[in-house]
Amino acid sequence: MFTISSHHEALIQNRLNFITSHFKGSLNILLLHLVYGALAIIVTEVKTGGIFLFSVLGLLLASCMKKEEASGASFTHVDSLNETYLMMQDSMLHTWNVMIKDENEKLQHINRLLKKLEDDDFYDQTEVHSLQERLNQLERIRFSQKSMSNSHVVEEYDFAATTLISEIIALVESDPDFFKNKELQQLTDLIKLADQRVSTYREEYDAVVLPFNEFLKKNGADLKEIAPDWTGELKPTFSEQEEEQP
C-alpha cells in the first residue's frame, strides 16, 4: 500500500488551502466541492500513483479555470454589445422624437393659423375649410420609423405638406393688411422656419441610423442573444428614400 509521507501530506494540504482561498469566488461551487473532496481523498486514502492522481486533478482544475475564463470573456463581449446596442437605439429614438416634436409643432402652428383665418372675413371660408381638411388628412398619412421603408409614403407626405404650406402662406400674404397683423406674421414665420428645418433633422437622423445599421450588420450573429426579436432588417433612412424616388 502506498503511504503518503508527512511532507507530501503537508504539500497537498497547502495546495488545498490555496485552491479554497483563491478560486472559491470564480469556480462553480459544485466544482469546488468536487476538487476539495478529491484532494481530501488523496490526503487520506491514496493507494497507488498518488502523485499521478494529484497531477490529473491539477490538469482538471486548470481546464475548468480556462473554461471559466472563456465563459467570462464571452459574457463580457455580449454585455458590451448589449450596452452599445441600447445606447445607439436610444440615440436613434431620441433624434427621431426631436424631429417629430418639431413636425408636430409645425402642424399646430398651421392649425392655429387656419383658425385665425376662419375669423377673418377677408378670406374665402370655403377655401379655408378645404385647407383645414387637407391638414387633417396630412396628419393621417404621417409615416413612422417602420413605414418610411416605403419611399412612396415619405414622398406622399412631403408633397402634401409642401403644397399645403405654400398655398396657406400665399393665401395669408394676399391680405393687404397682413403685415399689420403681428400674430399672423409670427405664425407664418414659425411655419416657414419649421419647414426649413425638416431637411436638417432628417440628416441628423440618418447620421445616427447609418452607424446603427453598420453595427447590426457587423454583429448580426450575436444580436440573437440581446435582441431576439430582431428580424435582420436594417433601419430605413431618408437618404435611401430620396435615392429610390424617380
Q: Which residue pairs, CB below 8 angstroms and at least 24 apart, start in 204-207?
A: 204/95, 204/99, 205/92, 205/95, 205/96, 205/99, 205/237, 205/238, 206/237, 206/238, 206/239
Of the candidates 176, 175, 172, 164, which has an alpha carbon nearest to the alpha carbon of residue 189? 172
Calculate the CA 244 to chain-centre distance.
26
Residue 232 has a pLDDT of 84
Q: Which amino acid is at 23?
A: F
**Residue 108: count of CB within 10 angstroms of its CB:** 14
pLDDT in tens, 195-238: 999 999 999 999 999 999 999 999 888 888 888 888 889 999 99
Q: Where are the beta strands (DSSP E) in the chain?
A: none
Asked if 226 and 85 count as a contact pair (C-beta separation under 8 A), the reply is yes
Where does the pLDDT of residue 34 fall: very low under 50, low under 70, confident under 90, or very high at 90 and above? very low
User: Taking a C-beta distance cutoff of 8 angstroms, is the pair 39, 12 a contact?
Assistant: yes
pTM: 0.67
Residue range 165-193, pLDDT digits in tens: 999 999 999 999 999 999 999 999 999 99
For 175, which DSSP code? S
Q: Which three cell numbers stand for residue 74?
A: 464571452
